[in-house]
Amino acid sequence: MHDADEPGRFRTLDLIDAHAGGDVGRVVVGGVELPAGTAAERARMLQRDGDGLRRLLTQKPHGDPSQCVDLLLPPSTPEAHAGLVIMGTMGYPGFSGSNAMCAAAAMVEARLVPLPDPEDDLLLETPAGLTRLTLTARRGRLDSVAYDALPGFAVPGDHVTEVEGWGRVRFRLVYGGVFYAVVNAAEVGLDPARTPVSELARFFDAFLPRAAGEHELVHPEHGVMPPLSLGLLAGTVDLQPEQPRVDLAVYMDGGVICRGPTGTGTTALLVWLHEQGRIAPGATVRAVSPFGQEFTGTLTGTTAVGDRTGVRTRIAGRPYLLARSQIIIDSDDPLVDGHDLPRGPSPAPGTS
């Protein structure tokens, strides 16, 4: 039990864990308070002044590097249902499809939004902008979440870097809501569907620091972006069957091969396929991870992204609830000491 004579020593965070495509999002629904601001401003504030929360919840014993933390906050715009800040070993991505799906499942579970009957929209304010998700219920539970992704695009031209053990590796820089270094798996002798996951991680551990150190990432509308922290290995492309399948592996800085294809990874894959002339608007593919988890991605059209031609995509998947819990943070615990944590309870999303 908490010691009432030591006010301020203990913190309690209210969590709902969910997964979408196998990737776990730990959704913080209470226990954190941040100053008013946009989701982007709050993400920058956490990175600058409160990064201990991210580090604490993505490390054992409070968390795990393979999991992301999704912080629900009141939105800064009245049209949004909630603000969402995403944190992981890679830092503070502007958007993540699987984490948006997990946040949607948690909001339904916590009754912050009603279960759709049978379909309804949910608008999330993320650091990358507003994203509208379509929630569909079936048999009294949330069955699927689909969303129109942020416009994706490829940086013009191939890039090449020298990687120890693999020689010269060719890749493209692709934006799917965050930037990825996309590598054709066949060119480096790997296959996301058959190569052991440990070997996929070994490749990315050697490759990504080389690629990240050589390129500044710039979005034509949003300016300089965070350093490269995500990689994508595009494997077997089978576009012949009725439901075309593409194997891929997504790597997250920190040594993690994601269990799912991820939402932004699926968008980046569609951008890459479109750049190669492999798919046209209207095409739908199943993006399948090394663990057999999948999302469906549809290339819905093209659009301008600043002075570049980008593509629009719609990503769909199914989130599953895992747990509802509380984490107790004891400031006297040496594992907590030194973590710069934001203070106070958070009002429920949708309130101010």
Catalytic site positions: 96
Coil/strand/helix, residue 131: strand
Measured CA to CA, the distance from residue 187 to residue 71 in angstroms comes to 39
Nearest to 320 by CA among 134, 83, 144, 87: 144
Beta-carbon count within 10 A of 248 CB: 27
Give the number of residues written for the chain. 352
Beta-carbon count within 10 A of 62 CB: 19
What tokens does 39 get? 């989701």
Coil/strand/helix, residue 274: helix
Coil/strand/helix, residue 301: strand
DSSP 146-162: EEEPPPBEE-SS-EEEE
**What pairing do the DSSP bridges indicate for beta strands 230-238 and 223-224?**
unpaired
